[in-house]
Structure 1
Amino acid sequence: MAIQNGRAMNAPRDWLLVPVKAFSQAKTRLAPVLTPVMRALLATAMLEDVLAAATDVCELCDIAIVTNSPDVAWFVAGRCTTVIDDRGAIGTNAAVTIALAELAVREARTVVILPSDIPLIRGRDIAELIAAAKRCGVALAPATYDNGTNGFALKSPTLISPHFGPNSFTRHLAAACAAGINSAKVTNSRLGLDLDDPLRLREFRSMQSDTQSERLLLRFDTRICGEAFENGALASGCARDLHDHEPEIARMLVRDLDAEC
């Protein structure tokens, strides 16, 4: 069942769709440099950055979050988003497929699917994906390093199925080709950088971006550079001021992480 938090639709619209797992389960590949609570808080900050970019183009598209996490639904409430329940789907592709079917019922036009871990994204990047999909049918923004897909736009929500996972960029291209649909490659360094591992996190920190994610990492004081980074060590003050950043979220995450132990 979908819960509508945004404004009512009187005509078909373009949509941005972001699949989001529970914050307490996020970014496990960053375990060498961030604690579980820090990773969960970083997941919320990155989602904030993606939603901020989407808000910049709200005249172009509506925003949907697909999740089965009550905490994610609570976090995005009041942010002009629609929350779609993934009904316990296993994996990103299953969750996105459920959401695309829901958006088809809502007579969505172009749908842009983005991960929640690309904090450098800007509104113009979303607009570029929408325009490319309208022009070609499918638009794909590759991840910079691992042949993944960090932007997947469809002229209509049921055009082709999602193929997220290893080598997803190649598999999305193949799916479009098999369906006889033209595809556009949108190469964009902001879309290309996802914070999936310590190396990408260090690259992101070197950019000193004006993002919620950067401000949070600065407060963690993780020193992701030099010998401390290479050894996977955490700086002694890494959890400083944890509750200063969204204290309600911090308490929520501590509760969830304690429950999993």
Structure 2
Amino acid sequence: MDLSPFKQDIDDLIHEFSEGESLELAAMKKVWLSRKFSYIYEARPSANLAFFMQSLYAHAIGHMVCDASLSHRLGGLYCLYCLHETQPFKPPFRIYLSLGKLMKLKDLVVEAKDKDIKVVAAVVKRMLEKNMFLFGSVEMIEGSVAETLNQLTELQNARVQVAYEKLFSDGKIDDFLHLDLGTEFDVAEMNKLSTEYAQAKKGAIEGASKVVDVQNIKHISIDKQLMSHEVEKIAENWNVQKEAFYRQTGLTQELTDPEQEQMEEQDHDDFDELEQLLLES
């Protein structure tokens, strides 16, 4: 999928905005409307829409965190905001933002605050309130969005594992999830006892038939499914259900490395720092 024309459009939009050394969102909206920039979605692909949107977002973020002028970087932020708000998708695609880019965004807010550009804090605060961002630890490298999305999937699976560990460890639910009914009930021993019982029952009824009429109870001695076989079936079905659960949730029976929890804590710390900064604005 060649996205270079879309990226060039974003480059031209931000260049026109920064050419006049504009700093306000209103100026970006004027440029956006004059170029009818929302039509960028008219040529969108019919498939891989997540890849398409994250590519646009990543390109705008690249402008936002580069070493260019403040006007240029603000153009990247405003473009990112407008791309999210004008997208035609329901529900809207959220903006993936790595921890490194989150810190760059925080620095941009601080710089804008020092220059008394109040709209920047207002825009970022609105983006946070509307839950536009999807925070993570993987860097979105330009030109390798597909690879990054795969890394995000792996990261999400790891986070599910952390949630699994916190939810199920050292509890009754964990005992049930890992329960092996075949071992718990000792099917082999039960099969031995059931067979011996069936044989004893049959022998007793045959012996009694020589003395009394056992016609009414003779059906008891007819061989049926042994109880141990029924338990074995239940155990097999239980194992099938467990495997289905693991497949559907992406969980495994192995717990994850506690380093994942540290990554989660760092994520929240950086987010809280930015949130506090915005509250002070």
TM range (shorter): under 0.3
| Structure index of larger Rg | 2
- TM-score with structure 2 setting the length: 0.23
Q: Which structure features the higher share of helix residues?
A: 2
TM-score calculated relative to the size of structure 1: 0.24
Structure with higher RCO (Cα < 8 A, 6+ apart): 1
